[in-house]
A and B are shown apart, each in its own frame.
Chain A
Amino acid sequence: MNSTFSAQIAEQAVQWLIESQSADFDQHQALQHWLQADSEHQRAWAHIQQVNQRLRGVTAPVVHATLQAPPSPARRRALKVLLLAGVASAAGLGLQQHNPLPGLMADYRSPVGQRRRLTLDDGSQLHLNTRSAADVRFDGQQRRVRLQEGELLLEVQNDPRPLRLATAQGELRLESGRFDVRQFDGFSLVSVFSGSASVAGTPLLAGHQARFAVGGWEAIAPLDPNRAAWVDGMLVVSQMRLGDFLAELGRYRLGQLGCSESVAELRISGSYPLADSERILEMLEVTLPVKVRRFTRYWVSLEAASTG
């Protein structure tokens, strides 16, 4: 792969990278324009994404421990000879394939651990959960929302224009009401608190939840009333496996959160404020026979508390 770029384009690409990673980034269209202006821009951008993909494939604590180990006296200034590019392919590292620009072009985005609430032109409320992104396109004829990643809750106002909500599986039509939609791998989970959501004319009625897969509705079940507790900053669970609970809690935190197999089947119930997940972990130590083990600040695992 040719990884030589003009210094000017490299400078611009890095500028865009740093900007696009800042919390208040709102120049998505300008970035799109820059990318479309020159194929060299796209190549430089793709190069950065590839290298990042490689970097993300390496477990963070290992990187810190290795690269920031105290230097020995033999250490002298080494040369910056090796270009990171092309040393090994991303596929060779066993990394999963990602969209080259994952979620970056979304109109609205909420970072890890944060929620956003937006009022749309028609008065509808759009809530974005942690690490979520959505596009909104309203015009004279229709209202369109696309869930790019994560989870949203829509409180849809009555309007002559239909509201169409797109997920990775296709399009839902929402009548005025309250809906929670979460994107999973291979399906989206739709919960209808009020109103109704339909796929190709088949409605899912209030008080129900179902998977929306490419073939239509699947696994229709009564609504889990706690599904939308996140809008109020709470995680509410009843008899949930600890392993699942930590996976859920992990969505709101940076880094890795998990547990050993020996405690994964423990059950947990309660209401937990998402604002302070560290506190939740402390509470778990009190209520369950578990011990929180921290490898680094961003890498936490729960294990069986030693007896005695």
Chain B
Amino acid sequence: MPSALSSTVEGLYLAHHSWLTGWLRRRLGCPQSAADLAQDTYVRLLQAREAPQLIEPRAFLTTVAKRVLCNHFRRQELERAYLEALAQVPKQVAPSEEDKALIFDTLLALDRLLDGLPALVKRAFLLAQVDGLGQGEIARELGISLATVKRYLHKAALRCYFAL
């Protein structure tokens, strides 16, 4: 029930907000980011399907905040790699400033979805759906059999299109 959920999150917010912000600040060393990530933590709780159990509220908040923190670090890492990649792109094909931000959102989402898949599975998927390579070409490129390419693509596609 959304109302029960939001009132629980509100309770957590009121009781533990400054503690959580402090916890994050110690790990980030940056008050501005800590406030943002504390916010993100509550947003994530609000997006959850069920009301959180409140036996150990701080332990629970810490678990969620750790995930938010991981995503934050990963995002910074991707951002750096993205800017480096863009610097290599010749001017005439470089995306506009506006598109750069939107493309980064896509990359971020893609990275999260493909996270945890073996490197070759990821690579096969990107070659197929981003580069538009045929399955035979992917097999040659990665030095694996066609059947394996299909299995990899299947696995990555379920994840990427349907989060399964």
Contacts and interface: CB of A to CB of B under 8 A. Distances in A.
B143 interface: no
Contacts of A52: 129
B131 to A, nearest CB: 5
Interface in B92-145: 92-93, 95-96, 98-99, 102-103, 105-116, 119, 122-123, 126, 128-137
B126 A67 contact: yes
B137 A88 contact: no
Contacts of A44: 162
Interface in A108-125: 111-112
Given A14-B162, A23-B135, A295-B88, A55 B129 contact: yes
B58 interface: no
Contact of A298 (B88, B128, B131): B131
Contact of B74 (A75, A92, A94): A75
Given A58-B107, A80-B159, A84-B160, A18 B154 contact: yes
Contacts of A80: 112-113, 115-116, 159, 163
Interface stretch (A3-11, A167-175, A182-190): A3-11
A47 B115 CA distance: 21
A93 B85 contact: no
A87 B106 contact: yes
A17 B85 contact: no
A67 B111 contact: yes
Contact of A74 (B77, B102, B135, B163): B77
B90 A93 contact: no
Contacts of B82: 62, 65-66
B89 interface: yes
A54 B99 CA distance: 12
B84 interface: yes
Contacts of A256: 93
Interface string A19-49: 0011100000000000000000000100110
Nearest to A54: B106
B157 interface: yes
Interface residues of A, number: 62
A298 B81 CA distance: 20
A82 interface: yes
Given A59-B93, A88-B102, A254-B132, A10 B164 contact: yes
B159 to A, nearest CB: 7
A93 B103 contact: yes
> Which of B70, B78, B103 has most A Cβ within 10 Å?
B103
Nearest to A65: B85
Nearest to B75: A78
Contacts of B85: 61-62, 65-66
Contacts of A98: none
A67 B107 contact: yes
A14 B154 contact: yes
B33 to A, nearest CB: 13
A111 B135 CA distance: 11
A13 interface: yes
B156 to A, nearest CB: 9
Interface of A: 5, 7, 10-11, 13-15, 17-18, 21-23, 44, 47-48, 51-52, 54-69, 71-72, 74-84, 87-88, 92-94, 111-112, 254-256, 258, 260-261, 295, 298, 301
26 contacts: A11-B164, A14-B162, A18-B153, A21-B135, A23-B136, A57-B106, A59-B89, A59-B95, A60-B126, A62-B86, A62-B103, A66-B107, A67-B122, A69-B77, A75-B70, A75-B74, A75-B77, A76-B73, A77-B70, A79-B71, A79-B112, A83-B163, A87-B106, A256-B93, A260-B92, A298-B131
Interface of B: 44, 67, 70-71, 73-74, 76-78, 80-82, 84-86, 88-90, 92-93, 95-96, 98-99, 102-103, 105-116, 119, 122-123, 126, 128-137, 150, 153-154, 157-164
